[in-house]
Chain A
Amino acid sequence: MIDSFKYLPRLIALFYQNQEIEKSQTIPWTSFRSPIKQARFTIITSAGIYLKESQSPFDLQREQKEPTWGDPSLRIIPSSTKPEALAISHLHINPKTILTDINVVFPLQRMAQLAEQGIISGLSQHCFSVMGYQGFPPNTTTWREQTAPQIIEILQQEEAHGALLTPA
């Protein structure tokens, strides 16, 4: 059985295991009617990835000053972006591994390869990145009220069929 806490330091694992987190009462669900080879996908990552030249990093300075706050903003990233055009701002993981091969968390190139192989139809025009840390306790109000509707609107325009969520 997969151990969710295997790679956490012991004390942090114990801390999380003892948080009283209620299970979600409802699970969002849409049946997937097409075979994936006919489907267009997007990637939504929480790894804090952004476009190096044209987007600002996530606001780590404010998080340093206010440790219980996390940046709720969104980065919209064209699916055609080359790995070298991407950067990462994240205070909770070491970005070294991700910068070695960004496909470990934001697999633009691998998804393009799957499209070339005919496994999927392709990627939507845009993929998305947020900062996974949303404060302590987490405040996902902006995500629910602004970010998610914005992503949905774009994906409907781009006729995406499914989203691959990749947590950092």
Chain B
Amino acid sequence: MPYWAERIGVPRTLAVEHPFGCPIGYPGDEKGQLTLLQAALSLFETCTTPGEINEFYDLWQEPIETAIQSWQPLEPSPIIRMLTPHIRDIIRQKGKLNLK
């Protein structure tokens, strides 16, 4: 996730648009995984600026809603369970959004 790489200060990033748990690609897609890894490793040779983010596009074939469901745990994590009743309030308190 380039959002976090940028904030944390990762030296070199290959940004991908994959569901959580699968940064290297589809399970069983040996060719796709190798292609992505080569792209990531090539950054060691091509990046010259600290914090450089390169984008890697390999369209995830699964529909978005299915993919969102697939990566999530069967039960919400303890912190999500704890925060969920308060998330809307927390967001509202920031004053940036007005959720209905």
Asked if B100 CB lies within 8 Å of chain A CBs, one says no
Which residues on B sit within 8 Å (CB–CB) of A24?
7-9
Instruction: Classify the interface of chain A: helix, strand, loop or mixed.
Output: loop
Cβ-defined contact, A92 with B30, below 8 A: no
Chain B interface category by residue count: 35 or more
Cβ-defined contact, A100 with B27, below 8 A: yes
Nearest A residue to B51 via CB reads: A27
Which residues on A sit within 8 Å (CB–CB) of B28?
100-101
Nearest B residue to A31 via CB reads: B48
Chain A, range 24-71, C-beta contacts under 8 Å to B: 24-30, 32, 35-36, 39, 41, 47, 63-64, 67-68
User: For B40, B44, B96, which residue has the most chain A Cβ atoms within 10 angstroms?
Assistant: B44
Cβ-defined contact, B7 with A21, below 8 A: yes
Given A4-B4, A12-B80, A165-B10, residue A104 in contact with residue B33 (CB < 8 A): yes
The listed residue (A64, A94, A167) touching B23 by CB distance below 8 A is A167
